[in-house]
C-alpha cells in the first residue's frame, strides 16, 4: 500500500480501476482478480488506440494520420514497490517475458511497424504513478530516432560488412575503462561521448536485431544484469529519476545483420536546455570513464 493511505490504481484489489488486463502471470484468481504477480493493461489515457483506420491524408503541405497503435502498461509486481531495482530477479525476468509475449502478439497486426519498451521512473523522468511499471507503445510508423539509428547502422554495415554494435562491444571489452560489468551474455558500459552523465547501455554480446527473438537463457541473464545495474545506479546516485528504453529493430522486418538490440538507461540528473533543443548536441560534464568507474566499483553488499 502507498504511504499515507493514498490510493494506488495498480495495487491488488483495485483491478477494476484499470482497463481489463491483456495478460497476467498469476498464482491464483481469474482475470482482473487478485492473485497476480504481473499484469499488463491498456493505458487508461492511451497515446494511441488499436481501433480505426490510419486514414493518411494531406492538409495543405502538412501530413496527418490517425493515432492507431497500442499503449500498454506492465505492472511489475503486486507489492507497492517504487523502485525496479528492489524487485527480485524473477520479477524482473517476468517483465521481459511479458514484454516479449506482447511484442510477439502485437506484431501479428501488420499495421504496427515498431514497438517501444520503456520505463519512466520518478516525476522528473515523466512518471505520474509511483507503483513500479514499464510501458509499451506500438506505432504505425518507424519513429524518427529509430530510423536514424537504423540508417546509421546500415551505412556502417555497407562500408565495413560488420555490425557497429558488435564492433563497439569488442572495442569496449578491449579498452575496459568504460565497462561497468560483463557476463557471458551481456556487456554493461558507459558509451563513448554519452549525452548524459551516467548514461549506461546494456548490450547482448551475441548479435540479435530483435529483442523479441531473445532466447530464454539470455532473458534470464538479462534479469540479473538489469537488477545489478539498477541497484548500482541507485546506490551511486542515491535513487535518481531515470528512463530506460529498449532499442530494437522494427517488428515487421526479418532479422537484420546491421542492427543489434540493446537497452539505454538515462538517469535524469541534468536539464535539457536551449543548446540541446537547438543543436541536438548534449553538454555532459561527466566523462564516461568516470561514471563507469563509480558504477563498476559500487559494492552491493
Q: How far is the CB of 290 from a copy of itself (least distance, A)?
A: 16
- DSSP symbols for 35-102: -EEEEEEE-SS-SSBSSS----EEETTEEE---BSEEEEEE--SS----GGGS-HHHHHHHHHHHHHH
243 binds a copy of itself (CB under 8 A): yes
Q: How far is the CB of 86 from a copy of itself (least distance, A)?
A: 19
Tell me how many helices (H) and strands (E) the chain has.
6, 12
Q: How far is the CB of 168 from a copy of itself (least distance, A)?
A: 7
116 binds a copy of itself (CB under 8 A): yes
7 binds a copy of itself (CB under 8 A): no
Q: Which residues contact 187 (CB under 8 A, 6 or more apart)?
A: 169, 172, 173, 179, 202, 203, 205
Distances (CA, A) of 170 to 222, 286, 290: 19, 23, 20
Q: Which residues contact 49 (CB under 8 A, 6 or more apart)?
A: 67, 68, 69, 70, 71
Q: Rank residues 139 and 219 by Cβ distance to a copy of itself and give the closer one.
A: 139
- Interacting residue with a copy of itself among 59, 161, 184, 238 (CB under 8 A): 59
Please state the φ and ψ torsions of residue 264, each to the nearest 5 degrees.
Answer: -110, 130
Point out the catalytic residue in the list 133, 247, 258, 260: 133
- The Cα–Cα gap between 241 and 267 comes to 6
Binders of a copy of itself in range 79-108 (CB under 8 A): none
Select the span of 19-27, 78-86, 214-222, 237-245 touching a copy of itself (CB under 8 A).
237-245
The answer to whether 133 is a known catalytic residue is yes
Per-residue x/- track, 123-162, a copy of itself (CB under 8 A): xxxxx-------x-x-x---xxxx-x--------------
Burial of residue 49 (CB within 10 Å: 0-12, 13-18, 19+) is: middle
Select the span of 32-40, 201-209, 218-226, 264-272 touching a copy of itself (CB under 8 A).
264-272
58 binds a copy of itself (CB under 8 A): no
The position carrying cell 517476468 is 94
Contacts to a copy of itself by CB under 8 A: 47, 59-62, 64, 116, 118-120, 123-127, 135, 137, 139, 143-146, 148, 164, 167-168, 171, 175, 192-193, 243-247, 264, 266, 270-275, 277-281, 283
Residues marked active site are found at 133
Amino acid at each position: 500500500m502507498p504511504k499515507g493511505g493514498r490510493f494506488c490504481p495498480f495495487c491488488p484489489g483495485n483491478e477494476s480501476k484499470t482497463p481489463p488486463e491483456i495478460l497476467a502471470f498469476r498464482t491464483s484468481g481469474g482475470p482482473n482478480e487478485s492473485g497476480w504477480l504481473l499484469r499488463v493493461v491498456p493505458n487508461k489515457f492511451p497515446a494511441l488506440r488499436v481501433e480505426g483506420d490510419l486514414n493518411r491524408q494531406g492538409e495543405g503541405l502538412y501530413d496527418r494520420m490517425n493515432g492507431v497503435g497500442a499503449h500498454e502498461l506492465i505492472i511489475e509486481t503486486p507489492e507497492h514497490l517504487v523502485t525496479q531495482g528492489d524487485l527480485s530477479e524473477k520479477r524482473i525476468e517476468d517483465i521481459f517475458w511479458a514484454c516479449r509475449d506482447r511484442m510477439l502478439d502485437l506484431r501479428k497486426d501488420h499495421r504496427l511497424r515498431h514497438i517501444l519498451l520503456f520505463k519512466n521512473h520518478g516525476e522528473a523522468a515523466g512518471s505520474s504513478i509511483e507503483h513500479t511499471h514499464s510501458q509499451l507503445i506500438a506505432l504505425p510508423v518507424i519513429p524518427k530516432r529509430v530510423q536514424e539509428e537504423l540508417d546509421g547502422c546500415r551505412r556502417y554495415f555497407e562500408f565495413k560488412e560488420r555490425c557497429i554494435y558488435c564492433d563497439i562491444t569488442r572495442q569496449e571489452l578491449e579498452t575496459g575503462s568504460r565497462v561497468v560489468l560483463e557476463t557471458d551474455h551481456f556487456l554493461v558500459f558507459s558509451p563513448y561521448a554519452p549525452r548524459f552523465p551516467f548514461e549506461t547501455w546494456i548490450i547482448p554480446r551475441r548479435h540479435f536485431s530483435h529483442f523479441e527473438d531473445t532466447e530464454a537463457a539470455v532473458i534470464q541473464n538479462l534479469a540479473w544484469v538489469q537488477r545489478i545495474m539498477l541497484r548500482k545506479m541507485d546506490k551511486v546516485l542515491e535513487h535518481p529519476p531515470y528512463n530506460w528504453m529498449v532499442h530494437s529493430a522494427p517488428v515487421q522486418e526479418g532479422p537484420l545483420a546491421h542492427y543489434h538490440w540493446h537497452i539505454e538507461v538515462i538517469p535524469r540528473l541534468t536539464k535539457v536546455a536551449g543548446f540541446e533543443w537547438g543543436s541536438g548536441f548534449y553538454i555532459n560534464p561527466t566523462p564516461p570513464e568516470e561514471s563507469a568507474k563509480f558504477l563498476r566499483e559500487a559494492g552491493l553488499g
